[in-house]
Structure 1
Amino acid sequence: MPTPIAEDAAAHHKTELGAELLSVVARLNRLANQRTRLPLPWAQARLLSTIEDQGQARISDLAYLDHCSQPTMTTQVRRLEDAGLVSRTADPGDARAVLIRITDEGRRTLTQARIDRAAAINPRLDRLAPEDRQTLAAAVDVIRRILEDRDPADDN
C-alpha cells in the first residue's frame, strides 16, 4: 500500500509533468515562430487553426475559446474574411447568427504555415538518434490521444 509521502510525490510528479509538457511545447512553438515568416500574423494563424478544429463556429464561441471580447473576435474574423481565408454562412439554428468556416484558401494557407514552422524544427529533429525520433513520434501519438479524449466536464 502506498504511503502518504509516496502519494504526495506521485501527485507532485503528475502536476510537474503537465507543467513541463506545457512549458516545452510553448518553447518549441516560440522557436518555430522566431525562425519562420508566416503568411499571416501568428494570432490570425492560431485563430484559423481554431476554426479548422471547430469545423464551424459562431463568433461568440470563437471569442470564448480565444478568451477575448466578441468585438475583438469580430475584427479578427473580418480580417480573415477579407483575406479569403474564412467565410460566413447563416446559422440554420438561429437566423440572427452566422457560422464562420475555413475556406479552401484558408486551409492552404494554414498548411503552408505549418510546413514553414516545421521546417524550422526539422533540422534539430534530423540530428536526433533514430531511437529518439521513434520515441518522439510515439509521444506525438500520446499527445494526440490526450487532445482527442474529451472530458464531459469541458462541455459545462
Structure 2
Amino acid sequence: MSTSATGTQAEPRRGSSGGSGSSDPDLPSRLRLAVGRLNRRIRVDSAAALPPLQTSVLATLEDHAPLRLSELARREAVTPPTMSRVLAALDDAGLLVRTPDPQDARSALVHLSDKGHDAIRRIRTERTASLAQRLDRLDPEQRAALEAALPALERLVEE
C-alpha cells in the first residue's frame, strides 16, 4: 500500500488492461471483480442446490432445447465428456428427458422435464429476489446509475 499526501493509506493500483476513452484505467479489472463477486454472492444467497454448470445447462436447455450433447457442450464451452457427466447428473435428478434424434439414430436430443422447468424457474426466482435485496441497499442515485448502465452491460454480453 502507498501513503497519500494526507497520510492515509491508499489501495494499490491494480494492473490495467487498458481501454481507450476510460477515465479509470482500472475499469476492466474492477468491473470483472465486481460482476464475478456479485454473481457468486447471488448464487450463495439463493438456496439452489445445483452446481453452476448444471444450472447453466438447465438455462440453455430452457432457451434452446432440444439440443444434442455436442451442441450443449459447444454452447457451454466444455468438452463432450464433461457435458456427458453433467447430463447424467441432471438425468439422475429427473431434470431432463432424452429423446431419439430423428436425423441420427446414434444421437439423442435433450430437453427439460417438467421438473427441470420447475427447477430453473425456482433458481431464477430465488436469484432475482437475492439481487433485489442487494439493490434495496443502494441509495436512489446508485440505483439510477445502475439503471443507466444496463444498456452498456447488456451490450457487453452480446455475441
Counterpart for residue 126 of structure 2? 116
Alpha-carbon shift at residue 29 of structure 1 (Å): 0.9
For the Cα contact (< 8 Å) 1:59–1:73, is it kept in 2? yes
Distance 2:125 2:55 in 1: 13
Identify if the C-alpha distance between structure 1 residues 93 and 145 changes in structure 2 by more than 3 Å, giving closer, same or farther.
farther
Larger Rg: 2
Identify if the C-alpha distance between structure 1 residues 91 and 112 changes in structure 2 by more than 3 Å, giving closer, same or farther.
same
Distance 2:91 2:19 in 1: 50
Q: How many residues align?
A: 142
Pairs within 5 Å for 1:70-81: 70-81=80-91
How high is the sequence identity, in percent, across the aligned residues? 36
Give SS of 1:116's match: helix
Alpha-carbon shift at residue 28 of structure 1 (Å): 0.6
Residues 93-150 of structure 1 show CA distances to partners (whole Å, capped at 9, x for unaligned) of 3232112112332122112112222333322211222343233234334433444x44
Give SS of 2:108's match: strand
Distance 1:12 1:137 in 2: 19
- Give TM-score, length-normalised by structure 2: 0.69
Counterpart for residue 97 of structure 1? 107
5+ residue gaps in structure 1? 1-7, 151-156
Counterpart for residue 26 of structure 1? 36
1:127 aligns with 2:148: no
Distance 1:9 1:25 in 2: 18
Distance 2:97 2:75 in 1: 19
For the Cα contact (< 8 Å) 1:44–1:80, is it kept in 2? yes
Identify if the C-alpha distance between structure 1 residues 141 and 86 changes in structure 2 by more than 3 Å, giving closer, same or farther.
farther
Pairs within 5 Å for 1:6-155: 10=20, 17-147=27-157, 149-150=158-159
Identify if the C-alpha distance between structure 1 residues 114 and 12 changes in structure 2 by more than 3 Å, giving closer, same or farther.
same
- What is the one-letter code of the residue matched to 1:134? A
Which of 1 and 2 has higher RCO (CA within 8 Å, sep 6+)? 1
Identify if the C-alpha distance between structure 1 residues 62 and 127 changes in structure 2 by more than 3 Å, giving closer, same or farther.
same
Residues 1-29 of structure 1 show CA distances to partners (whole Å, capped at 9, x for unaligned) of xxxxxxx861787x965554333221111
Identify if the C-alpha distance between structure 1 residues 11 and 141 changes in structure 2 by more than 3 Å, giving closer, same or farther.
closer
Identify if the C-alpha distance between structure 1 residues 91 and 137 changes in structure 2 by more than 3 Å, giving closer, same or farther.
farther
Query: Going by fraction, where is helix more abundant, 1 or 2?
Result: 1
RMSD: 2.9
